[in-house]
Amino acid sequence: MSETAAKPVVLTCAQPTGRLHLGNYLGAVLNWGAMQDDHECYFGIVDQHAITVPTVPADLRNNTYLCLAQYMACGLDPAKSRLFVQSHVIGHTELAWILGCICPLGQLERMTQFKDKSSRQESVGAGLLTYPVLMAADILLYNAAKVPVGEDQKQHLELTRDLAQKFNRTYSETFTIPEPFIAKTGARIMSLQNPAAKMSKSDPHAAATVFITDTPDEIRQKIGSAVTDSGSEVRATADKPGVTNLLQILSACTGKSVPVLEESFAGKGYGDFKRAVTDAIVDTLSPVRERFALYSTDRTELDKVLKLGAEGAQKTAYKTLSKVYRKVGFVERPR
Ligand code: TRP
C-alpha cells in the first residue's frame, strides 16, 4: 500500500450517457488509461449527477453497465484503478452537503452549464443548481491532485478549488487543491460531416460520428462519406478543416505526427488517404470492440468489478469523510 500512497491521485468521472465515440476515446479515455501505472486512479460513473435531469430508470441502469464495459474495453483496468459507481460509495453526497453549506449561492447561479441546462428544462430541480457542489465532493473526497476534464468542465473545477480553499481556511488544512489536467496528446476530434463542430454522440447525422463499437464496415462507410475539402492535397491547413480532422484522427491512431503524414501523402489523392484513415481506425478500434463484446454480456463479472471498485474507493472516502466530520465539529458516531 505504501508504494501506491506516494503516487499522485488522479480522478475523473463521467455520466453514464450511452455510447462512447472516437472523440471520447482518442481525446480522453486513452489518456486516462495511460495514467494508470504511475498514478493512483479513480474513475467514477456518476449516476447521482445523471438524475439532475429527467432520466428513465431502466436506461440509467443499463447505461451504467454499458459505460463500465466501454471504459474497460478502452483500457481502464480494475486491477490498477478504482472503477466505481458514485452511488455505491458513502461520502459523495455527505461531503456535498457540507461543501454546499459554504458555497455562495450566486456562484452556482452564474455557472454556464446551469444557465444552459436550466433554460432547456421546464421545471428546474435544486439538484441541477447544486450539481457542481456534488462534483467538487467527488474530487475532494479522494484528494485528487489532477482532474482530467474537458474545456466545458473548467468552471466547475474552478469552483471546486474555491470550495477547497475556503474549507481549508475556515477549518484548517484538509483538502488538496486539484488542478485540471489537459493531456498534451489529447486530440480534438471533430464531426465527420461538419468539421466546425465537435464529434458528438447526439449528432443527428448518423455518418458524423464513429462509435468505438462500430464494425469495420460501418467505419469504412463513415470515413468514405466524410466531408473533405476542395483541391486534392492532403494538408492540414485552415481552408481544409475536413482533411485536417482526418489527419488528426490518423495521427492519434498511428502515433505519427501530422507533418510526417502530410509528407507521406504528397502526390496522392483523397482516395488513398481515406483508405489509410479507415485502416488506422479499424486497427485501433478492433481490439476495443472485441473486448466490449466480451465484457458487456457478462453482468456477473461487471458486478464483481464494481464491488472491487467501490471497496477501494470507499476506503479513501471514509478516511476523508471522518476527517471532515471531525473538523466541522460533528460528534463522533458512537460505536
Ligand atoms: N460534470 C462532469 C461532466 O458532465 C462529470 C463529473 C462529475 C466529473 N464529477 C466529476 C468530472 C468529477 C471530473 C471530476 O462531464
Ligand 1 atom nearest the C-alpha of 150 is 15
Distance of CA 6 to the CA centre of its chain: 24
- Tens digits of residue pLDDT in 282-296: 999 999 999 999 999
Phi, psi of 181, deg, nearest 5: -120, 110
| CA 246 – ligand 1 centroid, Å | 28
Say how many Å lie between the CA of residue 12 and the centre of ligand 1: 7
Q: Which three cell numbers stand for residue 27?
A: 481525446
Residue numbers of the chain with a pLDDT score lower than 50 = 1-2, 4
Half-sphere exposure of 308 (CA within 13 A, CB side): 15
**Amino acid in the structure at residue 194:** N
- Residue closest by Cα to atom 6 of ligand 1: 13
> Alpha-carbon distance 199 to 121, whole Å?
24
* Whole-number pLDDT of residue 6: 79
Residue 182 has a pLDDT of 81
Q: How far is the CA of 226 from the centre of ligand 1 (A)?
A: 31
Given a contact cutoff of 8 angstroms between Cβ atoms, the answer to whether 131 and 66 are in contact is no
Residue 188 confidence (pLDDT): 85
Residue range(s) occupied by CATH 3.40.50.620 in the chain: 3-186+298-328
197-230 residue pLDDT tens: 999 999 999 999 999 999 999 999 999 999 998 8
Q: Are 69 and 296 in contact (CB under 8 A)?
A: yes
The whole-angstrom separation of Cα 160 and Cα 163 is 5
Question: Active-site residue among 80, 198, 319, 327?
Answer: 198
Please tell me the CATH superfamily of domain 3-186+298-328, with its number.
HUPs (3.40.50.620)
The residues lining ligand 1, judged by C-beta closer than 6 Å to any ligand atom, are: 11-15, 46, 49, 135, 138-139, 147, 149, 153, 156
Atom 3 (ligand 1) nearest CA: 14
Ligand 1 geometric centre to CA of 132 (Å): 8
Question: Architecture of domain 216-293 in CATH?
Answer: Orthogonal Bundle (1.10)
For the chain, residues classed under CATH 1.10.240.10 are 216-293
Q: Is 80 a catalytic residue?
A: no
Handedness of CA 5, 9, 15, 17 (dihedral sign): negative
Based on the residue annotation, tell me whether 198 is a catalytic residue of this protein: yes
